Amino acid sequence: MDGRTKLSILLMSGCQALMNSTTSIMISSAALVSLLLLGDDKSLATVPVTAVVTGTALMTIPASLFMRHVGRKAGFLCGALLGIVGAAICSYSIYVGNFWGFAFGAMFVGMYTAFGNYYRFAAVDVAGMKNRSKAVSYVLAGGLIAGFLGPQIASHSKDLFLPYVYLGPYLAIIGLGVIAMVLISFVSIPKMSVHQASGEQRPLLEIIKQPTFIIAVLSAMIGFGVMSLVMTATPLAMVGCGHQHSDSFNVISWHVVAMYGPSFFTGSLISRFGEYKIIFMGALLGVLSVIVALMGLELMNFYVALVLLGLSWNFMFIGGTTLVTTTYKPSETSKVQGMNDFLVFGTVATASLASGQLQEHFGWEVVNLGALPLLGLVMILTLWNMPMFRRMRTVA
């Protein structure tokens, strides 16, 4: 990769860090804000987090189509602006004590995430297919900064504007969005040529019936869905077990570090071992996370389980993202990427909403047990479709 390419990927990695810092602020604090804004029924506490993911799911396909017409750069700027608007609505809702207004603002933040999730695909556009796994990994590595930045912003700014607890973090999101817009303005992303944009396209059903596409999307769907299911419930479970709010911030912080830290070498691992083996390893790490979570409710159990969960997400999401880029032609990019992310974040929204209900009515153990059959499905399908086993079945 030349210097200009590396600079653009570095800038997008910075934008990814700012976007994920916004997301981690929401994840680490939104449920706790809800506890302050709600009445007696606390089962709705995860609704704002669900609203974030719902906003992401609803905007995923429109964002892809919008960027097809106006370009990635304009799309990223538009997305950051939506995040700023959403944070302003959340801030005002906290000020006036309006729970549903807070959830509505959270949905706009989710729309910002829908645009930002295409940074990883834009990295492939910049670096080319030959360097796709490393490009995706390097951009997602920006989330490592978010692991420290987001939860720490939430923790240290939550009491800045007393008696309006948690107003500070949402005002900070506005600042993060402004910085992201500045960085985006310096990114250089090649535009799709007329030939690429207007080339022959297969029916979407034909594309999604490919075994490779199914494995890729399931890996990202289940990896992200399981992560959302468990992580969303974590602050509620920890506070319910008697741990401090600051403990939940720190656990989420290390979880996010585990999500993005391995990205510096995940691309190299994929290049060496292939997407299938990395996806399988990610699912296995998810199973280990559940085992640790079920072993006890001590603070260390939460730390270890959430770190393993973060590693699981990294391998499954990056492995799935890299694999899905091999299943479509340049002319099919927008519709396939849009469908991929719609399925992924539709799953995440469902998992997030289910998380609060399961935690409130059945408890932490059931939340974790719900992840096992999903992870097992990915392990079985990935192993069955792994190239070396496909060759063995063909010979037999």
Looking at the chain, the whole-number percentage of residues with pLDDT higher than 70 is 93
Residue 258 structural domain: 3-191+200-395
Specify the pLDDT at position 389: 56
The pTM of this model reads 0.75
| pLDDT higher than 90, residue 329 | no
| pLDDT higher than 70, residue 271 | yes
| pLDDT higher than 80, residue 51 | yes
Specify the pLDDT at position 313: 95
Distance CA 242, CA 248 (A): 11
Mean pLDDT of 201-206: 86
Q: What are phi and psi of 43, to 5 degrees?
A: -65, -15
Specify the pLDDT at position 2: 64
Q: Which CATH number goes with the domain that contains 220?
A: 1.20.1250.20
pLDDT band with cut points at 50, 70 and 90 for residue 297: very high
Q: Report the Cα 50 to chain-centroid distance in Å.
A: 13
As given in the structure block, the two tokens for residue 168 are 């500070």
Top pLDDT among 71 and 86 is at: 86
Mean pLDDT of 184-191: 83
Decide if 293 contacts 364 (C-beta within 8 A).
yes
pLDDT tens, residue by residue, 220-235 = 999 999 998 998 888 8
Q: How many distinct structural domains can be found in the chain? A: 1
A 10 A CB-CB count for 48 gives 29
Q: Which residue has the tokens 């490779």?
A: 212
Specify the pLDDT at position 5: 77
| pLDDT higher than 70, residue 204 | yes
Specify the pLDDT at position 222: 96
| pLDDT higher than 90, residue 136 | no
SS (H, E, C) the chain: CCHHHHHHHHHHHHHHHHHHHHHHHHHHHHHHHHHHHCCCCHHHCCHHHHHHHHHHHHHHHHHHHHHHHHCHHHHHHHHHHHHHHHHHHHHHHHHHCCHHHHHHHHHHHHHHHHHHCCHHHHHHHHHCHHHHHHHHHHHHCCHHHHHHHHHHHHHHHCCCCCCCCCHHHHHHHHHHHHHHHHHHCCCCCCCCCHHHHHCCCCCHHHHHCCHHHHHHHHHHHHHHHHHHHHHHHHHHHHHHCCCCHHHHHHHHHHHHHHHHCCHHHHHHHHHHHCHHHHHHHHHHHHHHHHHHHHCCCCHHHHHHHHHHHHHHHHHHHHHHHHHHCCCCCHHHHHHHHHHHHHHHHHHHHHHHHHHHHHHHHCCHHHHHHCCHHHHHHHHHHHHHHCHHHHHHHHHC
| pLDDT higher than 70, residue 199 | no
Specify the pLDDT at position 393: 44
pLDDT tens, residue by residue, 340-390 = 888 988 888 888 778 878 887 888 999 999 999 999 999 999 988 876 555
Q: Which residue has the tokens 């990610």?
A: 282
Q: Which residue has the tokens 């209900």?
A: 357
**Residues whose CB falls within 8 Å of the CB of residue 209, separated by 6 or more in sequence, listed in order:** none
| pLDDT higher than 80, residue 143 | no
User: What is the biggest distance separating any 2 CA atoms in the chain, rounded to whole angstroms?
Assistant: 71
Question: 1-10, 46-55, 350-359: lowest mean pLDDT where?
Answer: 1-10
Specify the pLDDT at position 317: 92
Looking at the chain, the whole-number percentage of residues with pLDDT higher than 90 is 38
As given in the structure block, the two tokens for residue 132 are 């796709």
